[in-house]
Amino acid sequence: MTLPSLLRRAWSNLFKRPATVQYPFKKLTPPPTYRGRHILLKERCVGCGLCSKVCPAFAITMVSTEGGTLPTIDLGKCIFCYQCEEVCPRGAIKRGIDYELATWRREDLIKK
């Protein structure tokens, strides 16, 4: 009867720091490539509406305001594929690394 080899490893783990991160108190920084909350650069947008046409989740609608036609992104529908960033001819949609998207009201999810 030999000692199971896992026992040795389990024992050595007792003296190591835990691998889990205490999330709300300590936050992880995602890599810069992370696809989080969008950054809309309104002054760049020309209102062509390509992003709303290509969006696979139908999350982007074009809304006309006094400043012209601008996209609004419904983060509740968004699947964060960033196809909109890819098609935008003016680079008006940028990636953000913010991942804390929970809100109290559904209307707050709609990003204008």
Task: Specify whether the CB–CB gap between 29 and 67 falls below 8 A.
Answer: no
CB of 56 to other proteins, least distance (A): 4
Task: Specify whether the CB–CB gap between 99 and 37 falls below 8 A.
Answer: yes
Look at the block and give the residue holding tokens 């810069």: 32
CB of 88 to other proteins, least distance (A): 14
Instruction: State the sign of the Cα–Cα–Cα–Cα dihedral 55, 60, 61, 63.
Output: negative
Q: 65 has which bridge partners?
A: 68
CB of 104 to other proteins, least distance (A): 25
Which of the residues 37 through 96 are near other proteins (CB under 8 A)? Answer: 54-57, 79-83, 86, 95
Residues at the interface with other proteins (CB under 8 A): 2, 4-6, 9-10, 13, 19, 30-31, 33-35, 54-57, 79-83, 86, 95
